[in-house]
Amino acid sequence: MMWILVTWLPTVVASVGTSEYDHFTFAQSWPPGVCASAGEVHSCQVDRNITTWTIHGLWPTNGSHEGPYHCSEEPFDENQIASFKNELLIYWPNLFKDTEADRLWDHEWTKHGVCAKDVPATNGEYNYFRKGLELNRKYRLLQILEVAGITPNQTTNYTIGQVHDAVKNTTGVEAVFMCYCVRKRRMHPEKRYILTEIQICLDKTKFTPVACPNVQIKRNRCPGFSKCPKHFSYPPIQYGPDETIYFERFGALSGI
């Protein structure tokens, strides 16, 4: 993970330096939630060619553990993904404009990708990132949710049951839904939860959906990440006059 940083951590033990895992976690992000999470640490930018859910990462996962990760010291080499870099900029972008464009790719490869080299489809940097793009095309969350009548808007809250059922109707298995909590102002009592990430678990070799383990994640203080509560918002991507949108502090979304 990269943009989540240390905001939330599962209450499980992470595996470092080992390549043992039994499935992949494919995490996709909703840009408004990512930008809301930037807080005071980063400034966020969404280009107009980004119109759907983007890739956060493809993570080797061992049961209910977080990890393995950092299985080798193989560095990220941008030359390996040069032939499809423009595609990555749209579907696997780093939205934090105050950091280098390749920072997310570097992070995902050196922490997660190097642990996936035992599977032919993800063996090596080129294959790893191509597989992520392939999965993003296969699990089109914007369309999956739209079919169930769940569309981005500023006025409607959705329930975890609605979103859960929409994804399960497509994958046939349980997924994980992460939200980011924001406040109008620091210490303001009013909270708003934003749908930010959907994680689909996949078989290690066939890349078919499998049920995600029931990992217990601490509910952090607001602002912060947690599994989505019963009700949450799904705001649309917004663009400013210079073809970007900037979120200040804990997410300057309409109505917050």
- Give the catalytic positions in this structure: 56, 108, 112
Q: Which residue has the tokens 């392939």?
A: 134
Whole-number Å distance between alpha carbons of 80 and 190: 46
Residue 227 bridge partners (DSSP): 178
Q: CA torsion, points 4, 7, 11, 13, in degrees to nearest 10?
A: 60
Whole-number Å distance between alpha carbons of 237 and 127: 30
Distances (CA, A) of 92 to 35, 42, 155, 217: 14, 18, 28, 25
Q: Which residue has the tokens 């033990």?
A: 13
SS3 sequence of 104-145: HHHHHHHHCHHHHCCCHHHCCHHHHHHHHHHHHHHCCHHHHH
Distances (CA, A) of 111 to 106, 206, 249: 8, 22, 28
Cβ(26)–Cβ(65) below 8 Å: no
Q: Which residue has the tokens 């296969």?
A: 138
- For 145, phi then psi, to 5°, come to -75, -40
